[in-house]
Amino acid sequence: MPVPERLDPPRLNIIGAGLAGCEAAWQGASLGVRVGLFEMKPDRMTPAHRQEYFAELVCSNSFRAASLENAVGLLKEEMQLLDSLVMRCAMAARVPAGGALAVDRDAFSMMITRMIREHPLIFTHSKEIFRMDELSEDVPLIIATGPLTADALSHDIADRLGSEQLHFFDAAAPVLYADSIDMSTAFRASRYGKGGDDYINCPMDREQYLAFYQELIKAEAVEFRGFEHASVFEGCMPVESMAVRGVDTLRFGPMKPVGLQDPKTGKEPHAVVQLRQDDHAATLYNIVGFQTHLLKREQQRVFRMIPGLQKAEFARYGAMHRNTYIQSPGRLDASYRLMEPYARGKTIYFAGQLTGVEGYVESTASGLAAGIHAALGMLGGSIEFMPHTAIGALARYISDSSIRDFQPMNINYGIIQPMHPSDPRARKAKKDRKMQTAENSLNTIRDIRDKLVHYKKYNSSE
Ligand SMILES: Cc1cc2nc3c(=O)[nH]c(=O)nc-3n(C[C@H](O)[C@H](O)[C@H](O)COP(=O)(O)OP(=O)(O)OC[C@H]3O[C@@H](n4cnc5c(N)ncnc54)[C@H](O)[C@@H]3O)c2cc1C
């Protein structure tokens, strides 16, 4: 790959020090680019952010499945190969969570903040940005302001990209103090014994479940203000909305009992509520899949009906928020760069949840890709994340202008391009096919890593 002459490092501006913005900054700086990172916290907080630190996890503390059998496991592995800051800190702040990668959220965000602040090429600014052209127009820009982008910038983006900017709702689950959980009723176990006793399980018999269900569906929720017609993302649906779909819907969703045995009865309960460790010290547990929009007093009343949670104390109540994403197909290319005529001759990238990828890991992956593309563009180089990699599959998804009803998307094997059937390495069994796809993808990512090392060497100070 050709490399440019050595000059003063060029500069890249990034708005938003969330998961995507921090990852983009780290990747850009690793390639030798100077990064200006603008974050409005702590002066201004979104409705979901509470901490002063960067890369705050606003709801669950889980980065989901770790295994390659699940596409999100592959996405994480790809990012680890590319020295992802978020993955590095997530591994360091890991807490037990069965087959998932979950973190102590404070330790995680504090470590990211420290590493960003200590990087000699990253310059952080505590400042809300109101308009895209507010920062120097000659400097490439990455907008990574997330699903709760502050209003002024949100309007500016909508003006430039057209009025089809979309909103939907997202919800967060409550977090409880561990010492308020009655462990004489609840028991520790992981589903099918995978992951030891990482989860706390609250078992219900049929009567308890039906009584809980009846109260849940009639409990009072916070009023939607002005967004009545917005849709709810299926993957983050409030537990009370899911319940309304049918008496057994929760038993096939967040309250499914399969693979769990109550040690008291030796049997599978009728339904189970699972709690996952939320911090290193194991003082906090979140209620898995119980994102909710109920009033606080209703959360107390209804969730305390769950056996084991009768005296539960809430460290944080569940809440629901607006979520914003742009109509990326036709506006962004597969490098997350804004296309003409929307770019108006400027170099602007988008990254994170705002682009229509969905989830912590996916938002990070888009930040990683946008950061690498933006930095390489400034250094006169380029790489391609092919659609047979998980990172590339997400980029192709958000830039695929043939998609009519564009909806936020989690990574899944369905969108990763499989090996061509004529390739002798392509196998038939579904599990093997996933492993083959993963292996193929990781080989490609290793090649990309080697190409990037070439730039990193060139740009190092020796
Ligand atoms: C309430 C809620 C709960 C969610 N729960 C989960 C979950 O449990 N699991 C999951 O995988 N995903 C979840 N998501 C989805 C998504 O993964 C997260 O929102 C994720 O943090 C997105 O990363 P991001 O980097 O795009 O945005 P963020 O992490 O939100 O980062 C954006 C940053 O930009 C800053 N900012 C915003 N506007 C401006 C401005 N004008 N100027 C300067 N700074 C600005 C914000 O303060 C913030 O720090 C949730 C989303 C919401 C809204």
2 inside domain = no
Residues 18 and 152 in one domain: yes
219 inside domain = yes
For ligand 1, whether the C-beta of 145 sits within 6 Å is: yes
Residues 177 and 159 in one domain: no
For 134-155, the pLDDT digits (tens) are 997 789 999 999 998 998 998 8
Residues 298 and 332 in one domain: no
User: Of the candidates 287, 322, 357, which is a domain's last residue?
Assistant: 322
Is 70 exceeded by the pLDDT of residue 338?
A: yes
At 229 the pLDDT is 40
Residue 47 DSSP label: S
At 240 the pLDDT is 94
At 279 the pLDDT is 77
For ligand 1, whether the C-beta of 303 sits within 6 Å is: no
At 289 the pLDDT is 92
Task: Reduce the DSSP state of residue 307 to 3 states and report it.
Answer: coil
At 237 the pLDDT is 80
Residues 153 and 211 in one domain: no
At 362 the pLDDT is 97
Residues 25, 375: contact at Cβ < 8 Å? no
For 1-10, the pLDDT digits (tens) are 454 444 466 7
CATH number reported for the structural domain that contains residue 342 in this entry:
3.50.50.60
Q: Which residue has the higher pLDDT, 160 or 5?
A: 160
For 340-373, the pLDDT digits (tens) are 999 999 999 999 999 999 899 999 999 999 999 9
At 6 the pLDDT is 45
Residues 216 and 159 in one domain: no
6 inside domain = no
1 inside domain = no
Residues 180 and 312 in one domain: yes
For ligand 1, whether the C-beta of 128 sits within 6 Å is: yes
Residues 246 and 283 in one domain: yes
Q: Which two tokens stand for residue 87?
A: 């993955």
Instruction: Give one DSSP letter per residue of 408-422, joined into a string.
Output: -B---GGGSPPPPTT
Q: Which residue has the higher pLDDT, 282 or 381?
A: 381
Query: Measured in angstroms, how far is the CA atom of residue 354 from the centroid of ligand 1?
Result: 9
Closest-CA residue, ligand 1 atom 19, reads 147
Assess whether the previous peptide bond of 341 is cis (omega < 30° from 0).
yes
| Ligand 1 atom at minimal distance to the Cα of residue 46 | 47
338 inside domain = yes
Task: Reduce the DSSP state of residue 120 to 3 states and report it.
Answer: coil
Average pLDDT for 11-27: 97
| Ligand 1 atom at minimal distance to the Cα of residue 57 | 21
| Ligand 1 atom at minimal distance to the Cα of residue 16 | 34
Is 70 exceeded by the pLDDT of residue 428?
A: no
Instruction: Tell me how far apart the alpha carbons of residues 193 and 197 are, in angstroms, rounded to a whole number.
Output: 8
User: Of the candidates 288, 322, 356, which is a domain's last residue?
Assistant: 322
Residues 236 and 157 in one domain: no
414 inside domain = yes
At 168 the pLDDT is 62
Residues 448 and 347 in one domain: yes
In the chain, how many domains are there?
2
Band (pLDDT 50/70/90 cuts) for residue 221 is: confident
Residues 365 and 269 in one domain: no
At 328 the pLDDT is 92
Mutate to test the pocket of ligand 1, among 59, 112, 332 (most ligand atoms within 8 A of CB): 59
Distance between start and end Cα atoms, the chain:
20
User: Of the candidates 322, 345, 362, which is a domain's last residue?
Assistant: 322
For 74-122, the pLDDT digits (tens) are 999 999 999 999 999 999 999 999 889 999 999 999 999 999 999 999 9
For ligand 1, whether the C-beta of 147 sits within 6 Å is: yes
Helix residue ranges per DSSP H, 332-406: 360-379, 390-399
Q: Which residue has the higher pLDDT, 14 or 404?
A: 14
For ligand 1, whether the C-beta of 16 sits within 6 Å is: yes
Residues 290, 207: contact at Cβ < 8 Å? no
Residues 27 and 158 in one domain: yes
Tracing tokens 């977090």 back to the chain, one arrives at 175
Residues 218 and 285 in one domain: yes
Domain that holds residue 255: 171-322
Instruction: Tell me how far apart the alpha carbons of residues 393 and 415 are, in angstroms, rounded to a whole number.
Output: 6
For 261-274, the pLDDT digits (tens) are 999 999 999 999 99
Packing angle, helices 71-81 and 360-379, rounded to 10: 40
